[in-house]
Chain A
Amino acid sequence: MNTPSTPSTPSTPYQDYRTGEPAVDTKAPDGPVAERWNRRRFEAKLVNPANRRKHTVIVVGTGLAGGSAGATLAEAGYRVVQFCYQDSPRRAHSVAAQGGINAAKNYRNDGDSVQRLFYDTVKGGDFRSRESNVYRLAEISTGIIDQCVAQGVPFAREYGGLLDTRSFGGVQVSRTFYARGQTGQQLLLGAYQALSRQIATGAVEMHPRTEMLDLIVIDGRARGIVARDLLTGRIESHFADAVVLATGGYGNVFHLSTNAKNSNATAVWRAHRRGAHFANPCFTQIHPTCIPRSGDHQSKLTLMSESLRNDGRVWVPAEPGDDRAPQDIPEDERDYYLERLYPSFGNLVPRDIASRAAKNVCDEGRGVGPGGHGHRGGAEGSSVEGGGGRREGVYLDFADALARMGRKAVEERYGNLFEMYARITAEDPYTRPMRIYPAIHYTMGGLWVDYDLMTTVPGLFAIGEANFSDHGANRLGASALMQGLADGYFVLPATLGDYLARAPHQPADPDHPAVHEAVRAVSDRLDALLSAGGDRSPESFHRELGALLWDECGMSRTEEGLRKALERIPELRAEFWRRVRVPGSGAALNQSLEQANRVADHLELAELMCLDALHRAESCGGHFREEHRTPDGEAAREDEAFCYAAAWEFTGTGTAPVLHKEALHFEHVHPTQRSYT
């Protein structure tokens, strides 16, 4: 175990990573893609129902993936011990997803099918995902809707009483099911209620306000976790036959993101340090329609559903530095740049394209509104201190929609979003165009998992946003909810049994040296944070790290910038351990301690992210390298060199990791350059 406070002088520079054995998905079935999931399920060994009660499964996280998995495993008869850092499982950040959930139901008779959802997802992911996984996801999607309806999820309905759908995020069929602008909330409540039922019967032992701080690996298998009771500060070890991480993405490494303020990467990062490979960390998604920052006090960013782009038109002034109010800018002096650049998709181009286009027009000095980030000097195009320079915002204008549909129809469709916007900005979007700007939203990368969703540590599974599997380099709108629930309700419960049935079934030894080591590591680290006695808040480090990443590893990346970041991050990390200040004690509710511990992990993960981004000398999906673009400025993939998932193996804090490449094969969807013009 590395002592946390002293970043050891690395034996090899971090950037000089080594390429190890290829990563191989041993569980991936072959044969026709449409039959693989069926085959895998049939070949999986089953645990006798009478024996399931004797198996304990730890599930960390209670979002869509964790909540649905916990409930389903308990229904199947396993003993589930579940954790969340929130005070209630109902608050996991899946609750904030707005837009909807995709499913290949083809209720609209508009040509949708499992095949098409599969195709759209592989293409949307810019050919960096596994065909087998994506096909399974598309196949399962329809069952998710059935399940949720049976649970009482109040999806939007038509007057005939049947489910309504809409088209979403760059897709030409109407396959997105929704519950006003609160789809995530409603789906999560469905899973939460199912989980609550199991908690009440005693099948699930729920530990709210408890945070996983390390993974216990005994004899090469994941056998438990070390967790901290956030109220009492007690460090506890919990043992099980398998551990499932459903802890979400790592978007908060950027400090400002649409994630919840406390969302963090600690669980996955600790698992990574214990041997789980981390795949494609540089695949992060920027969401184009967020409310711009209002100042340096900003603690998080708020997303507004992408569905707004169905009826809103995006524009900026044609000329840089145009200070006029939007209503004073005549039509011919506006640039509806998405419609101009991408005539066939217009305002509905995928997220990465819409985001980058917004960045480009702002880089040209055509951004609008007061938002910007004045405190970040240095980077090209950054604003001058005190504002007046670069502005970060573009208009999303509903004037045409209001004229065409009438205010009432707009209200019906987007009322709650307009209200939210007005509340936050104190501007009325019915009379003045909204201002939007991209923000970090989702991370496609995550723990590497095989077809069974198991990581490289036997017995450790990762589901939902915590794994890397299904979205490749870019996720389509309304697919996160689909994947989280697919993993939790259907995939994991089927594949976990196979592991349990094959693994030797014996109790974990609570006195095993590995347990003591893990517990000690956690205590030492917390003690180090509490006793650092510096002069800077954890938040200030987080903010600084976030600014650095946003500039160098955000919407567009350059080799130069990434190298700069890779130089800066270890310095910042060293400064963190030297200068961080955490008041209070570890034996009570201490939110500063919680935050400091999370920031410490972000400071390590950030380095891997930048390295991954540097090594991937191509542009694909959410990963845009300035050096790799087509003549018309779009992302240029380098399939010859990079048609693989990059699974990184940890070797020590600040020391060069080992890269394991998992080659990706495209038999059914032929890689093409994505084109949305």
Chain B
Amino acid sequence: MAMTTDIRTPAPQRPRTGSAAPPGPGPRRGRLRTLWGSTIGKKAVMAVTGLLMLAYLLVHMLGNLKVFFGPEDMNGYAHWLRTLGEPLLRYGWFLWIARAVLLAAVVLHGVSAYQLSRRDLAARPVGYRHRRRGSSYATRTMRWGGIILALFLVWHVLDLTTGTVNPRGQEGHPYENIVAGFRTWYANVIYLVAMLAVGLHIRHGFWSAAQTLGVTRPGTARLLKAGATVLAAAITAGFVSVPVGVMTGVVN
């Protein structure tokens, strides 16, 4: 029998950082587990949930603009949202379904972001002594922006959904609640900071989602980047116009 032995020391086993993936075809994990288990898959989850939330934000922003047409328009629109889907759905169901979907999206988006960030930080445990100025600007913006947005979300729900922290907080009267809310300085500050964060988050996130989902091709990168900027600017401007409207007295 031939053999390979080491007469001095046991055969060297090089340190392996990772374990081998199952080679070749064979039993594989389910599709969703594969996705959720891989960095690319998790990024794809973030991309899809992000795009979903982006679509929601766009509608939300357009809806908000009704505030400029007076209380009837605004409150009527709010009422219509609750009757949407009737008679298939009962009153308010659509909104609850939307809320559930959004909540799931937020949770998936957040959990993925958290796990990926943890992983990214662990993958570079030691930095360079010689620091260069910032390429990781976008990454930092996304991470801190994401945290700011998560906190804002809590405030926003307490302010205009449950009315808990709203000075008026009357259900069924969003127009009045909005106007009341934006009469306080802190609401304006919180809101404006958050909308800035939304803009930056969308600008990088949209582009990032496109990359993650692999829709970019060498030729379309610039177009997508420009699209992301326009979209981010439009949404931010749309949202910001409301408090500005209240502050300047256009809305009251």
Contact = CB atoms under 8 A, between A and B. Distances in A.
A236 B1 contact: no
B7 to A, nearest CB: 5
B2 A507 contact: yes
Contacts of A236: 6-9, 11-12
B23 A239 contact: no
Interface string A235-267: 111111100000000000000000000000000
Interface residues of B, number: 13
A507 to B, nearest CB: 5
Interface string A584-617: 0000000000000000000000000000000000
A80 to B, nearest CB: 10
Interface string A493-531: 000000000000111101100010001000000000000
B7 A54 contact: no
A200 interface: yes
B2 A237 contact: no
A201 B26 CA distance: 14
Interface string B109-144: 000000000000000000000000000000000000
Contacts of A207: 12
A81 interface: yes
B76 to A, nearest CB: 64
Contact of B23 (A200, A505, A506): A200
Given A200-B20, A200-B23, A229-B12, A238 B6 contact: yes
A55 interface: yes
A82 to B, nearest CB: 11
B4 interface: yes
Contact of B4 (A55, A200, A238, A511): A238
Contacts of A232: 12
B17 to A, nearest CB: 15
Nearest to A511: B7
A352 to B, nearest CB: 43
A235 B2 contact: no
A238 B38 CA distance: 39
A510 B23 contact: no
Contact of A240 (B4, B7, B8, B12): B4
Most chain B CB within 10 A, of A235, A236, A507, A511, is at A236
Interface in B144-179: none
B4 A56 contact: yes
Interface in B1-32: 1-9, 11-12, 20, 23
Nearest to A205: B4
A240 B9 contact: no
Interface in A39-90: 54-56, 79, 81
Interface string A205-242: 10100000000000000000000010010111111110
A248 to B, nearest CB: 23
A47 to B, nearest CB: 12
A205 B2 CA distance: 14
A506 B1 CA distance: 5
Contacts of B8: 234-237, 519
B23 A54 contact: no
Contacts of A79: 2
Contacts of B7: 236-237, 510-511, 515, 519
Nearest to A500: B2
B1 A54 contact: yes
B14 to A, nearest CB: 8
A507 B3 contact: yes
Contacts of B5: 237-239, 510
B3 A234 contact: no
Interface residues of A, number: 27
B4 A81 contact: yes
Nearest to B12: A229
A241 B2 contact: yes
Given A234-B12, A519-B7, A240 B23 contact: no
A502 to B, nearest CB: 15
Contacts of B11: 236
A239 B2 contact: yes
Contacts of A237: 5-8
A244 to B, nearest CB: 14
Contacts of B9: 234, 236
Contacts of B4: 56, 81, 205, 238-240
Contacts of B3: 56, 239, 507-508
A527 to B, nearest CB: 15
Contacts of B1: 54, 506-507
A383 to B, nearest CB: 41
A164 to B, nearest CB: 24
A218 to B, nearest CB: 12
Interface string A575-588: 00000000000000
Contacts of B23: 200-201
A508 B1 CA distance: 8
Contacts of A205: 4
Nearest to A232: B12
Contacts of A241: 2
Contacts of A234: 8-9, 12
A56 B12 contact: no
A447 B141 CA distance: 62
Nearest to B6: A236
A347 to B, nearest CB: 39
A237 B11 CA distance: 10
A188 B165 CA distance: 68
Contacts of A56: 2-4
B139 to A, nearest CB: 30
A200 B5 CA distance: 21
The listed residue with most A CB atoms (<10 A of its CB), out of B3, B4, B11, is B4
A235 B7 CA distance: 9
Contacts of A238: 4-6
Contacts of A507: 1-3
A205 B3 CA distance: 12
A232 B12 CA distance: 9
Nearest to A515: B7
A469 B8 CA distance: 37
A627 to B, nearest CB: 51
B214 to A, nearest CB: 21
A55 B2 contact: yes
A205 B6 CA distance: 14
Nearest to A56: B2
Most buried by A among B2, B20, B23: B2
Nearest to B23: A200
Interface string B72-96: 0000000000000000000000000
Given A238-B6, A515-B7, 17 more contacts: A56-B4, A201-B23, A207-B12, A234-B9, A234-B12, A235-B8, A236-B6, A236-B8, A236-B9, A237-B5, A237-B6, A237-B8, A239-B2, A239-B3, A505-B2, A507-B1, A508-B3
Interface of A: 54-56, 79, 81, 200-201, 205, 207, 229, 232, 234-241, 505-508, 510-511, 515, 519
**9 nearest A-B pairs in the assembled complex, by CB-CB distance:** A56-B2, A507-B1, A236-B6, A241-B2, A238-B4, A510-B7, A510-B5, A81-B4, A237-B7
15 contacts: A54-B2, A55-B2, A56-B4, A79-B2, A81-B4, A205-B4, A236-B8, A236-B12, A237-B8, A238-B6, A239-B4, A240-B4, A505-B2, A507-B2, A515-B7
